[in-house]
Structure 1
């Protein structure tokens, strides 16, 4: 007796189906792999651009504010800081540029900080004589009880920088480890900082140094800000910022008119008062290298390009910032 036929697949049909499925799955995984790599690349580029924008925002703000609330007070302009804080000299009013052709530039910035309603400026209530270890103020609102802050005292003609060790009972006590308080104050008013009218202003100050740290983690160079205080380590601003260069627009006319006449990369101490604009060059790169991508670090400012290709993708930011308080009396 002959058995009835049964439904099913022949071996050839099964092998054909497996082959088709294999091809389809290979296409699916290939598409997934491509999309994943594309997503990762775009994500890293977006991260790089965010780092670049963040670095630009901080530099733009602080450079624009440089010199705010700091009277010129003759030569050398500005306030006196302890020996060794600046690469040379002990005076700063607005900016103190440090140029490098072999690596990133760095920049020192000083300004009075009175624009935060939670950290308002105040005035002195008793005459502060030279050598005083404290100043009596109308209010200690916004000052840290434990100190550790930079304070600027100015009568609009001269200014001096101090570090606090305590704030209590209407008195700011000076102290700290950076020697701001025992450093020479050659421009201190002969009769001290008076109570007016108008009284002398007492407010927080920002004394900053921007630089790129490529030593702590060479694979991830980081834009850092040093607040120039003892016991306060520099803080990261933006990751994977490979290079930072500055160019300075100078007003060199005999009678300053506020118009930039020339641009220089390396500013002398005598030219600092002529700075009217700062051109910021920032070079950011992706967090990791991309397989198959080859690129050489480009030239930036007065620093030559690299010599070895790598797999990092890069972006350059080029922006000019007006230094509003430079050149003012």
Structure 2
């Protein structure tokens, strides 16, 4: 076996039983590792800031923010899982089969919980904008917490069942040594696409279309000085809810743009029918969304920018800092 052939194998000493890896120029490989590692660190750091902010400051303990907290937790986990994707960038898995199972199952559970949380956010904004008078009674902190817990539990249960064979027989479905794949029945794979993409995306789009229609009609009413029969001060509350809907609408749009290519590949082409480089790209784009979300908060949420100053200046360590009004 020639030296050039050996460099294309994940485990050269195993010969033909080893998987082949994608060979890139050293400079390109180093650059990709630096970029992806930076994204991983940035994702973990920014989402940790969101988690600390919402958890610490009592003024932020609202139903909407608890949903954002759930999204930040899932994004925080994705930041760590990015490390495994970096290991797979060249098509070789150098860890044990058990770690492969952990990665494949956990990444599906976390991303599924993230998608479920985005659906809950869309429902929250729909009620806040379309039925503002009953929002405080329909959407409470306790109900938001229960929905978040159910979202995570259902995600964990469903995908653990779907990938049961992989969990019970680690590495059995690998075609060569150095591969890390999750095998699922075609029906199970289609079901996963429906539950994780088609169904939630349909709900999200329908709800936000309705929110947009209501927002436009309310804006026209306000510009036309039409009297709205609502309690005093409710117009100010409505504007606040509408602003929150716009911010979270940006989160949803970016989220859909990030996951769309991955599920199109999964549904139409199938991961085995595309090049490794393109597959790595769509997966990284899918995971990169977890880094974008907290950036959106930085630019569009004043309270997040203010809380960052508290954290970075260590004022958060002072007694009574949790009572600070950062809104």
| Bigger Rg over Cα | 1
Greater RCO, CA 8 A, separation 6+: 2
Higher strand share: 1
- More helix per residue: 1 or 2? 2
The answer to whether TM tops 0.5 is no
